[in-house]
């Protein structure tokens, strides 16, 4: 993946594919989602003296690499779903109440959760 | 929702040579040419698959898990592969080239529309160190921490 067009295509494919799966999981309800990302989304180093864990702060170096940028974008997308779903779950204990009625600000984002979102979580 | 972050995944049956292509090049080339810098964490495809299943029931929602393994320099990866192949392979010469020189060569080949032995994007990755700690996945998902030999043997034999 070298050209700007190829990178854009990769970003689009990864983003749309992830969104499709996450939306389907929400719509189905009660599903657990395991999102397979990559260590490329975490961090890297120019020297061999650093080992990264899950909570490593993102640094610009990895972000300059196309694949890393795509994976980071996908994880950011996942985070928005997790955040939205967790909020909806805590605010909307009734399974029959649409999220937007209780959390109108959620409607500003595309395809926000309707309660219950992922009940088993 | 659980996020899994596999490192460089190796396994038999990699028919498209996504990662096995690296090892194949080590074994086929008469002299192994490597950048002086760069390293990666390697893991076995079967362990990653098992971790995906384990994450469904044992993963903590909202958590991220690294699925890595031994952290090796590119040279260590090559030497381990050649050693596992055995025989004359184990004595094959390895030539380490400065990363900047390699990058310049690849850029030149690309500019001239000539075939390059490695994509520029791949080389950018290979010159860096991707070292990770998978102990969290080990504790919470039962993800095994294997040696480089255990990870690479199935691929070399394949």
In a domain, B117, yes or no: no
- Omega cis (within 30) before B64: no
Is B106 inside a domain boundary?
Answer: no
Paired tokens of A118: 């992922």
The predicted-structure confidence for A31-83, as pLDDT tens digits, reads as follows 788 889 888 888 889 999 999 999 888 776 765 678 888 888 888 888 888 77
Domain range enclosing B12: 3-97+130-157
Q: What is the domain-level CATH number for residue B43?
A: 3.40.50.720
| B115 occurs within a structural domain | no
A6 touches chain B (CB under 8 A): no
The shortest C-alpha distance from B91 to chain A (Å) reads 26
**Two tokens, residue A87:** 């909020």
Of A32, A36, A50, the CB nearest to B56: A32
CB contact under 8 A, A33 and B63: no
User: Per the structure, how many domains does chain B have?
Assistant: 1
Contact B1 A32 (CB under 8 A): yes
Q: Considering CB atoms only, which of A34, A65, A66 is closest to B56?
A: A34
In a domain, residue B120? The reply is no
| Residue B22 token pair | 């690296």
Size of interface A-B (CB pairs under 8 A): 99
DSSP one-letter string for chain B = -EEEEE-EEE-TT-TT-SSHHHHHHHHHSSSEEEESS-EEEEEEHHHHHHHHHHHHHHSPTT-EEEE---EEEHHHHHHHHHHHH-GGGGG--EEEE-HHHHHHHHHHHHHTT---SS-HHHHHHHTSEE-B--HHHHHHH------HHHHHHHHHH-
Q: Which positions ≥6 away from B144 have C-beta within 8 Å?
A: B47, B138
Contact between B143 and B74 (Cβ < 8 Å): no
Kindly state whether residue B112 falls inside one of the protein's structural domains.
no
Q: Which residue of B has its CA nearest to A64?
A: B124
Residue A114 pLDDT class (50, 70, 90 cuts): very low
**Which ipTM was obtained for this model?**
0.85
pLDDT of residue A85: 66
Virtual torsion, Cα A92, A94, A97, A100, nearest 10 deg: 10
Is B64 part of any domain?
Answer: yes
Q: Kindly state whether A33 is in contact with chain B, defined as any CB-CB distance less than 8 angstroms.
A: yes
Answer whether residue B119 is part of any domain: no
Report pLDDT for A117: 34
Close Cβ partners of A116 (under 8 Å, ≥ 6 residues apart)? A29, A30, A88, A89, A92, A95
Rounded mean pLDDT, B135-145: 94
Reported as a pLDDT band with limits 50, 70 and 90, residue B42 is: very high
* B72: in domain: yes
**Inter-residue contact B117 to B28 (CB < 8 Å):** no
Whether residues A53 and B66 touch (CB distance < 8 A) is answered with yes
Tens of pLDDT along A86-102? 444 434 334 333 333 33
* Lookup result for tokens 């690296």: B22
Residue range B140-152: average pLDDT? 93
Residues B127 and B2 sit within 8 Å (Cβ to Cβ)? no
B122 touches A at CB < 8 Å:
no
């Amino acid at each position: 993946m070298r050209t700007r067009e190829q990178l854009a295509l990769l970003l689009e494919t990864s983003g749309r594919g992830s969104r499709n799966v996450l939306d389907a999981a929400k719509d189905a309800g009660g599903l657990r989602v395991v999102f397979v990302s990559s260590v490329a989304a975490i961090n890297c180093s120019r020297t061999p003296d650093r080992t990264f864990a899950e909570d490593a702060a993102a640094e610009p170096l990895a972000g300059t690499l196309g694949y890393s940028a795509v994976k980071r974008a996908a994880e950011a997308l996942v985070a928005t779903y997790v955040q939205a779903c967790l909020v909806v779950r805590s605010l909307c204990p009734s399974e029959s109440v649409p999220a937007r009625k209780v959390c109108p600000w959620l409607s500003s984002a595309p395809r926000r959760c309707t309660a219950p979102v992922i009940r088993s979580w | 929702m659980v996020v899994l972050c596999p490192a460089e995944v190796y396994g038999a049956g990699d028919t498209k040579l996504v990662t096995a292509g690296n090892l194949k090049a080590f074994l086929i080339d008469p002299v192994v040419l490597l950048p002086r810098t760069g390293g990666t964490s390697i893991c076995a495809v079967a362990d990653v698959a098992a971790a995906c299943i384990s994450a469904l029931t044992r993963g903590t929602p909202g958590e991220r898990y690294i699925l890595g393994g031994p952290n090796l320099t590119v040279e260590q990866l090559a030497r381990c592969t050649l050693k596992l192949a055995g025989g004359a392979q184990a004595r094959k010469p390895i030539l380490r080239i400065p990363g900047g020189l390699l990058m310049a060569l690849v850029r030149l080949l690309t500019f001239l529309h000539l075939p390059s032995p490695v994509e520029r994007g791949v080389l950018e990755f290979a010159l860096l160190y991707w070292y990770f700690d998978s102990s969290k996945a080990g504790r919470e998902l039962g993800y095994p921490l294997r040696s480089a030999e255990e990870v690479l043997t199935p691929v070399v034999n394949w």
